[in-house]
Amino acid sequence: MDILSDPAVIWFLVGLGLLLLELALPGLVILFFGAGAWVTAIVCAITDINLNWQILIFLVASLIGLVLLRKYLKKRFFGRTDKEIEDQLEEFIGKKAKAIDDFKDGSGKVEFKGTRWSARCDKPVKKGAWVTIQSKESLIFTVKPS
Percentage of the chain with pLDDT > 70? 91
Tell the burial category of 109 from Cβ atoms under 10 Å away from its Cβ (0-12, 13-18, 19+).
middle
The pLDDT of residue 92:
83
The pLDDT of residue 87:
57
The pLDDT of residue 1:
57
Q: What is the pLDDT of residues 66-109, one digit of tens each?
A: 999 988 888 777 765 555 555 565 678 888 999 998 998 889 99
Could you tell me the domains of the chain? 3-79 (no CATH), 86-145 (2.40.50.140)
Which range among 1-10, 44-53, 85-94 shows the weakest confidence by mean pLDDT? 85-94
- Contact of 100 with 127, CB cutoff 8 Å: yes
State the average pLDDT over residues 19-40: 92
The model carries a pTM of 0.54
- Residue length of the chain: 146
Report whether pLDDT(133) > 80. Answer: yes
The pLDDT of residue 91:
78
Q: Residue 130: which H helix or E strand, with range?
A: strand 130-137
